[in-house]
Amino acid sequence: MSTSKSNKRTVLVTGATGGLGTAMCKKLYTDGYTVVGNYHTEEKAKKWMEQMKSEGYPIELFYGDVSDYESAGKMIANIEAKYGHIDTLVNNAGITRDGRLLNMKVEDWHAVINTNLNSVFNCTRQVIQGMIDRNFGRIINISSVNGQRGQFGQTNYSAAKAGMHGFTKSLSMEVAKYGVTVNTISPGYIGTDMVMAVPEKVLNQIVAQVPMGRLGGTHEVAHLVSFLASEETSFITGANYSINGGQHVY
């Protein structure tokens, strides 16, 4: 059962029903934020809300295809109509369509770029003016270690995740003077369904390259998200936080 403190700030987590999204919602709720999530699949969303409520996290999900500008806009308008403004946006929604470029289908390239990178534009573009007007905002982009170092079989994913870094750095400069911070988190291999879908042999080889010798926990990433959402991180912007057990250091 969660014990929520009071905090007037509202956070939107995209891709809330996934492993990382769920952990972020729980942590932010526990830390006293008003938390709303985004979903894409109806049936999953209903079950998720019931489960979360039964665990003490009564968090509402809103439909939105974040890869589509209009759909993302409708979702944001629906959230604002019910909850008022959005103070913190966590761009977390993401998919993989792994495979060597040699075999990659055009639709697998576009699906990953649209869902993982264009979504960041689609959502951020439609909340940023309000953040500027209120002189407070937090944009937290969930990238990946594979956006920093590349990964065999992930030209689409690595390109999208690397693109998030450029977006973060540029936008952070544009909105710094309005009290809006923009940062990126780059998780390594975390124990989510997405990572567990990697063939076992390949995953074992990857974990063997992680100095900590294990997958990360979703709660470890969620903690960092809540930290960056806080008032006290007001001088941190344009930064990238690696959280990868030492897999990639630079």
Min CB(244)–ligand CAA separation in Å: 8
Question: Phi-psi region for residue 99, left (φ > 0), alpha (ψ -120 to 50) or beta?
Answer: left
Does 189 bind ligand CAA (CB under 6 A)? Our answer is: yes
Helix, strand or coil, per DSSP, at residue 187: strand
Q: Which residue is closest to ligand CAA by CB?
A: 153
Min CB(122)–ligand CAA separation in Å: 20
Does 199 bind ligand CAA (CB under 6 A)? Our answer is: yes
Burial 133-148 (b: 16+ CB within 10 A, else e): eeebbbbbbbbbbbbb
For ligand CAA, which is the closer residue by CB, 10 or 143?
Answer: 143
> Positive or negative CA dihedral for 180, 123, 15, 217?
negative
Does 111 bind ligand CAA (CB under 6 A)? Our answer is: no
Residue by residue, DSSP assigns 123-175 as HHTTTHHHHHHHT-EEEEEE--HHHHH--TT-HHHHHHHHHHHHHHHHHHHHH
Distance in angstroms (rounded) separating the CA atoms of residues 234 and 245? 26
# of chain residues touching ligand CAA (CB under 6 A)? 20
Catalytically annotated residue among 157, 178, 241, 250: 157
Q: Which of residues 140-169 bind ligand CAA (CB under 6 A)?
A: 144-146, 151-154, 157
For ligand CAA, which is the closer residue by CB, 119 or 144?
Answer: 144
Does 115 bind ligand CAA (CB under 6 A)? Our answer is: no
For ligand CAA, which is the closer residue by CB, 122 or 154?
Answer: 154
* 157 is annotated as an active-site residue: yes
Distance in angstroms (rounded) separating the CA atoms of residues 250 and 242? 10
Q: Which residues are part of the catalytic machinery?
A: 157
Which residues of the chain form contacts with ligand CAA (CB under 6 A)? 96, 98-100, 103, 144-146, 151-154, 157, 189, 194-195, 198-199, 202, 206
